Amino acid sequence: MERNPIKIFNTFGPCNPEVDYMIPSLEREPAVMPLIDKGIYFAIHAPRQSGKTTLLSSLTNKINEDGKYYPLYCSLAPTIEADSKEQASEIIFEIIIDALKLSIAPCLNRLTGQLPEFSMKNSTALMGRLLTYICTNIDKPLVVFFDEADSIPENATLSFLAQIRDGFNKRKIFNNNAFPKSIALVGLRDLKDYRTHDQPDNPKRLKLSPFNIQHLPLGVPNFSKDQIRALYKQHTVASGQVFRKSSIEKVWEWTEGQPWLVNALARDIIGKQLDDDYSIAVDGSHVDKAANELIKRNEVHLSSLIDRLNEPRVRMVMAAIVSVSDVPVGSLSEDDIKYCVDLGLLKLGNDGLNDCAPANLIYNEVIFRALSSKLGINPKNVPENKWMDGKVLDMTGLLRAFQDFWLENAEILSKDNNNDELIDAIIEEVLSSKNHHGNIETTTPAKKAQIRKNVSKLIKESLCVLVLCAFLQRVLNGGAETVRRQHSLGSKFLDICVYYKEIPYPIEVKIKGTVTTESGIIQLLGYIGRCKTSQGWLVEFDRNPNKPSKQKLTFKTCRRGKNTVFVVGCWQHAEKNVLYRQQRMTTWGSCEETIQYSSRYVLLDRFSSKN
């Protein structure tokens, strides 16, 4: 039987069905064409490389084939270079003319040679006048797709949206075709979240709603598990290479259907791991290896997400999620959380914005590693890995060593390595967000001081968790098959599971004082059950500055039925930790000797528990 031509799993730019494996875009978002037929103006927003431009390409082709309308695709990405709203308007004018030239419709091509002289006296209205001229000189309604619409500089956004609203209203009032039948604004963000600060000194101007004519915004959803299976089956039909059930499950587990990641994993497995040997079936182990390599390699798609952590408002949200603590009221705005969701960094939980979490396991790992770097975590004296013997992982010994490591690296949280600059930047973002809603005047000095206190608390508590994660990552350094973390905003817990030789080692992390130790144990017992094992570790960071010296590092063993829970206590106050570390080192000797002491203690503890 003759096979289909072998295509590629595309990870660069929009997909072409002639050369790329793809799920038809209109199947993923079938609601678009009915909106166009009804003459509705609407927005589509979704994260980068999720299929927005591919969807617009499919819509353009379908509209051309149906023949009822003329489609016009315009990418507004070049406007990002504009220095003024006048310049932005002129760039948009040129973009539309270029789109006319590239259209397959001769009627639109001819217009470029017939354009009248447009007055530049009011250049910010150029787009509206041009669209009106086009629509009154063609024989079918026009449909316009403005891609990368959120690239328009903030000071030009208001006039751009106002022109669209004005044209829409005139079209409705005069019941004619003097403006496009339908316009779609496509970008990362929901249209109502576009900033329009072209007159920051005029609060009334900021409260205008220049585009309240739009339909509820649409998105471009991730692939479902069935769509992942169908996508990979296209390759099986073309090449004969089989994707086993375990591979589909693993891809879903790592990506939750994010299109770029789904394609990138298949690309790497087939081309890099298997060297295009189609006789080898793809299974779950191939996916795990490809996912971990993708995280380490940090390709452009992932590095663009990391770049977002340079934005204080994004870093604040991520620090709040990592902190596994109470999020103080007023520390985070819903706008900032939703912004992170729109960027694709986070996904909504069952309680919407209140318990959102990293969008998938791959992003989760990338965010954790990048956030550690952005917050200045560079652990020193990371011990050599002595806790893997090729069969089992001595997690108890490893976490006892972490306690000593915690003391050794206490200066990460000390005044000598503070985050005042970061905290100030985040506070500016918080206040800017409030200013956007016109209530900056109500932010008193006392309120600002409270915001600073809240931000500082979240940053320091997130550092505790990140130090533990950095330690595990550095020590294990590829020896474990996988280190996975699961957490969400406001959950007060972080789930970490280290897999070694396919054996799970579940760890629960909490800040003591936000929830009780007993609550942590109960939470961990549930995690132990989900991991199908019989033991787990609860790591508590204690924020009590008056803890007696004998309790600064604690280790308890709790048995609940058939399960064993090890409670690992770490005192958090870094300034006092430094002094205690010096005392401890004087008593116990060097860090290396301390780690050896911890390992010996674990062996004695194990011997005692068996007898």
Distance CA 169, CA 413 (A): 57
pLDDT at 392: 86
Cβ-based neighbour number of residue 229 at 10 Å: 17
pLDDT value for 609: 35
Within this chain, do residues 121 and 177 fall inside the same structural domain, yes or no?
yes
> Quick one: 197 and 261 in the same domain?
no
Angle in degrees, CA 255, 256, 257, rounded to 5: 85
- pLDDT for the residue numbered 133: 92
pLDDT at position 232: 98
Q: What is the CATH number of the domain that holds 237?
A: 1.10.8
> Please, what is the average pLDDT of the chain?
79
Q: Are residues 194 and 236 in the same domain?
A: no
Per-residue pLDDT, averaged over 253-257, amounts to 95
The answer to whether residues 106 and 234 belong to one domain is no
CB atoms within 10 A of CB 375: 22
pLDDT in tens, 284-305: 999 999 998 998 887 888 888 8
- Tell me: the pLDDT tens digits for 142-167? 999 999 998 898 888 888 998 999 99
> How big is the CA angle at 71 (ends 69 and 75), to the nearest 5 degrees?
165
- DSSP three-state, residue 513: coil
Is the pLDDT at 138 greater than 60? The verdict is yes
Query: Of the candidates 248, 280, 297, which is a domain's last residue?
Result: 297
Q: What type of residue is 231?
A: L
Of residues 546 and 176, the one with the higher pLDDT is: 176
Q: What percent of the chain has pLDDT above 70?
A: 72
Determine the pLDDT at residue 479. Answer: 55
Same domain, 533 and 388: yes
Q: Is-contact 288 251, C-beta < 8 A?
A: no
Q: Do the domain assignments include residue 2?
A: no
Residue 216 inside a domain? The answer is no
How far is residue 66's CA from residue 73's CA, in Å, rounded to a whole number?
16
Q: Is the same domain home to 416 and 466?
A: yes
For residues 280 and 248, what is the distance between their CA atoms, to the nearest angstrom? Answer: 16
> Is the domain of 406 the same as that of 533?
yes
Instruction: Tell me: pLDDT of 251 over 80.
Output: yes
User: Structural domain tally of the chain?
Assistant: 3
Residue 60 to residue 432: CA distance in whole angstroms: 39
Confidence of residue 607 (pLDDT cuts 50, 70, 90): very low
- pLDDT band, residue 548 (cuts 50/70/90): low
Least-confidence region, from 10-14, 60-64, 179-183, 316-320: 316-320
- Which of 28-32, 390-394, 542-546 is the least confident region? 542-546
Question: Higher-confidence residue: 41 or 175?
Answer: 41
**The sheet that has 182-187: what strands, in order across it?**
42-45, 182-187, 142-147, 70-75
For residues 36 and 111, membership in a common domain is answered with: yes
The residue that leads in pLDDT, 217 or 520, is: 520
Report the C-alpha gap between 363 and 346 in whole angstroms. 9
pLDDT at 422: 58
What pLDDT, in 10s, does the model give residues 397-409?
999 988 888 876 6
Residue 55's pLDDT band, with cuts at 50, 70 and 90, is: very high
The span from the CA of 114 to the CA of 304, in Å, is 42
pLDDT tens, position by position, 492-518: 566 788 888 888 899 988 877 667 889
DSSP of 174-188: HTSSSS-SEEEEEES
pTM of the model: 0.77
C-alpha dihedral sign at 18, 20, 23, 26: negative
Helix axes 395-408, 445-476, angle to 10 degrees: 130
In a domain, 111, yes or no: yes
Instruction: Please state, in angstroms and rounded to a whole number, the distance separating the CA atoms of residues 85 and 102.
Output: 26
Statement to judge: residues 236 and 197 lie in one domain: no
In tens, the pLDDT along 339-350 reads 888 888 988 877
Q: Does 417 fall in a domain?
A: yes
pLDDT at 195 over 70: no
Last residue in a domain, options 234, 267, 297: 297
Answer whether residue 256 shows pLDDT above 90: yes
- pLDDT digit string, tens, across residues 259-286: 999 999 999 999 999 999 999 999 999 9
Quote the pLDDT of residue 588. 35
Q: Residue 322: inside a domain, yes or no?
A: no
DSSP state of 383: P
Least confident residue range of 197-201, 327-331, 383-387: 197-201
Q: Are residues 415 and 562 located together in one domain of the fold? A: yes
Do 194 and 233 lie in one domain? The reply is no
Listed range (25-34, 194-203, 391-400, 569-578) with the worst mean pLDDT: 194-203
**Position 343 in a domain:** no
Neighbours of 157 (CB within 10 A): 23
Beta strands 142-147; 182-187: pairing state: parallel
pLDDT at 510 (0 to 100):
82
Residue 412 in domain: yes
Report DSSP state, residue 557: E
Distance (Å, rounded) from C-alpha 102 to C-alpha 269?
Answer: 38
pLDDT at 134: 94
User: What pLDDT band is residue 59 in, cutting at 50, 70 and 90?
Assistant: very high
pLDDT in tens, 549-566: 555 688 999 999 999 999
pLDDT band for position 320 (50/70/90)?
confident
Q: Of 280, 297, 314, which one is at a domain's C-terminal end? A: 297
Share of the chain above pLDDT 90, in %: 36
With a cut of 60, say whether residue 215 has pLDDT above it: yes
**Which of the two residues, 356 and 441, has the higher pLDDT score?**
356
For 433-451, what is the mean pLDDT?
Answer: 57
- CB of 340 closer than 8 Å to CB of 482: no
Q: Is the pLDDT of residue 329 over 60?
A: no
Structural domain for 427, as ranges: 375-610
Same domain for 70 and 30, yes or no, is: yes
- Residues 407-433 pLDDT 10s: 766 555 554 444 566 566 666 655 555
- Ranking 21-25, 59-63, 542-546 by mean pLDDT, the lowest is 542-546
Check which CATH number belongs to the domain holding 202 and give it. Answer: 3.40.50
SS3 386: coil
Helix/strand/coil (H/E/C) assignment for every residue in 317-333: HHHHHHCCCCCCCCCCC
**H or E segment at 509?**
strand 503-512
